[in-house]
Structure 1
C-alpha cells in the first residue's frame, strides 16, 4: 500500500468514531414526545357552520350594563356542529374541549384588544344562560390541558349533530370601560 492510501485509511479510522458520536446526538439536546389516539369515531367539526377558525360577533353593549361586580351582558349563542360521524361507532357522544389563548384568574377569556375596554372579559357557557365554563388550568373539567365543556352532542346513531354553547361579556370587578373586546379560544372535539 502506498503511503498516501495509508494516511487516508488512518484518517478514516480516526474520523469514523467522531462521526458516529455526532450522528447519535451526543450530548442529548432534548426529548420529542409523540402523542396520538386511535378511535372508531371521527367527525368533522364546525363553529356556526365554519370549519377551522371562526368569529362569533357579540352585540354592542353599554359600559353601564357592566358597572356592577360580576355583571354580565350580551349573551350570544354559538353552535358546535359535527358531520361525517361513524354511525356504527360505540362512541356516540361528542364533547367540545376549549383552551383559552389568554385566560384571566377567574377562568374567563381575557380582553386582548389593544387599548380596548377594561374590567371586562368573555365568559363561555355550556348554553346561553347556562353553566359557565371555567378555562382555568385548575378547573375540575380539565382534560389534558383542555377544558371539557357541557353535555356535548349525543349522536344516537346519527352521522351529524349540534350543540349550542354561549359566550357573554362579564365584569368581575365591575366598572367596565368602553372599548373593543376580543378574546380567543382553541377548540377540539373528543369522543365518549
Structure 2
C-alpha cells in the first residue's frame, strides 16, 4: 500500500471530481496516484497537511475517534484574541455539527494567532468553534497529524512515507503525541495518574 503526505494549498477541494470544474487535490498528483483516498479532509479555504492512502488500516488508525490521533492547526483570526478564549475552546461548546472541544489551545506568536490541537474531527470544527466565540477564521493551516509535521513540504508538494514512518502511527506512544496518555482498553479502573 501507499501512504502520501500532501501539502494542500488553499483553494483546492478534497474531492475526486467537481461539477464546477474547480481545482481538487487530485490535480496535484500524477496519474499513477489518482486511486488514493484522502484521510479526513481540509475544506477548500484551509491548507496544510493531508494524508492520502489506499490502506484501510491507516485510514482507520487516523480517523477513528477511539484512536485519538492528534491534529494540530495554526489559526489566524480576524481580531485580537482574549486570553479567555483558550479555556473555552478546551472546555468545549455546541456547534452545528455537535459538541466540539479542543485538546489544547494556546497563543501562537501574535494576538491574532493561535494553535489548536484536536482529536475530534467534526466538519469545519475550528471555524465553527471560533465563530461561536465571535471570531472569523482568516487562515487555517494543519501543521501536524500525530508525529508527522508539515514542515519542509512545499505548498502543493507531496512525498511518499516509508513503511517505518507509517508504522510510527501505530506505536502506542506516537500515533502522535496522541496516544501517550490513553488508558489501556482492558483497564478495570482508571490509573491513578489520570484521576
Same fold (TM over 0.5): no
* TM-score (norm: length of structure 2): 0.30
Task: Tell me which of the two structures has the higher relative contact order, counting C-alpha pairs closer than 8 angstroms and 6 or more residues apart.
Answer: 1
Which structure has the bigger radius of gyration? 1
Q: TM-score, normalized by length of structure 1?
A: 0.30
More helix as a share of residues: 2
Structure holding more strand per residue: 1
